[in-house]
């Protein structure tokens, strides 16, 4: 915000209760701010902080979803290449349904975030 030559020269001391201070530090860390002061400054100036923890969780859910997709694809490929014994077909179909259901649930959770 502004040029490199601008300097912040005004100081505003704030007093916290110990639990408020801990919460402020936790939130600054969750939003990847270097300090509580920088978080407060952005909040006051209207900058909307985005949680890096939420972003990391979304990326992890997407990785799990991709792994499930690969697992389902490998299973289908194996079945087409080798065929399956008749008594295993119901179990394999149930496994594929479970993979698809888990993928749907993951997608819902990601959209909710």
- In this prediction the pTM is 0.46
**Under 8 Å between Cβ of 38 and 55:** no
* Cβ neighbour number for residue 57 with a 10 Å cutoff: 14
DSSP state of 108: H
First to last CA, the chain: 29
pLDDT along the chain (113 residues), means of 10: 75 92 92 90 87 75 84 79 71 83 82 72
Annotated domain spans of the chain: 13-50, 52-112
Residue 2's pLDDT is what?
59
The C-alpha atoms of residue 58 and residue 9 are separated, in whole angstroms, by 39
Residue 84's pLDDT is what?
64
> Computed over its alpha carbons, how large is the radius of gyration of the chain?
25
């Amino acid at each position: 915000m502004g040029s490199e030559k601008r300097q912040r020269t005004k100081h505003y001391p704030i007093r916290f209760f110990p639990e408020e201070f801990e919460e402020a530090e936790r939130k600054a860390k969750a939003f990847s701010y270097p300090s509580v002061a920088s978080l407060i400054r952005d909040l006051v100036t209207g900058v909307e902080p985005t949680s890096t923890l939420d972003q990391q969780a979304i990326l992890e859910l997407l990785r799990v979803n991709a792994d499930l997709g690969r697992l389902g694809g490998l299973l289908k490929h194996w079945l087409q290449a080798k065929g399956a014994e008749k008594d295993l077909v119901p179990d394999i179909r149930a496994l594929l349904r479970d993979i698809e259901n888990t993928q749907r649930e993951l997608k819902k959770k990601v959209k909710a975030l």
